């Protein structure tokens, strides 16, 4: 269960490390695995410049796409600490709350996912995310 002010780990290679939920997209109070949310980046990897290149629009292409602290982005919940009931009666619970960042077209920003994701994503039509994940539980 993810709600307002919940801090999540970002498990893709987009550059963000921690994100805080500021809105659940479907309008409810809580979000679960497979729900899109709006987040603000709380902690990001430092941006490094390549020597010999100037920073800015004509500089390193990575700096154009870099995620900075304070940016507002869309995200997808992929793991929650609150247990989720599966159709066969089992419950699954993860060790942390985690998300991946999305662009405005709801496509993943990163090219890799660093960790497991819940299989509920398959049923909610997030096939691209499932294909990027190293393990689906």
Looking at residue 51, its pLDDT comes to 66
Tell me what pLDDT residue 50 has: 61
Q: What is the mean pLDDT of each run of 10 residues along the chain (137 residues)?
A: 97 96 92 97 87 55 74 98 96 97 96 96 95 96
CATH T-level topology, domain 7-46+66-132:
Ribosomal Protein L14 (2.40.150)
What integer pLDDT is reported at residue 115 of this predicted model?
95
Tokens 């077209």 belong to 105
Residue 87 — left, alpha, or beta (φ > 0 → left; ψ -120 to 50 → alpha)?
alpha
pLDDT at 54: 56
Answering whether pTM is above 0.85, one says: yes
């Amino acid at each position: 269960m993810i709600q307002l002010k919940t801090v999540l780990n970002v498990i893709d290679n987009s550059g963000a490390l921690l994100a805080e939920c500021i809105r659940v997209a479907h309008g409810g109070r809580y979000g679960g695995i497979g729900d899109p949310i709006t987040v603000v980046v709380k902690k990001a990897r430092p941006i490094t410049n390549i020597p010999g290149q100037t920073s800015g629009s004509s500089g390193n292409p990575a700096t154009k796409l870099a995620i900075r602290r304070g940016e507002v982005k869309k995200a997808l919940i992929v793991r929650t600490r609150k247990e989720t009931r599966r159709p066969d009666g089992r419950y699954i619970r993860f060790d942390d709350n985690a998300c991946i960042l999305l662009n405005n077209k709801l496509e993943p920003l990163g090219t890799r996912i660093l960790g497991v994701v819940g299989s509920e994503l398959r049923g909610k039509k997030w096939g691209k995310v499932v294909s990027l994940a190293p393990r689906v539980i």
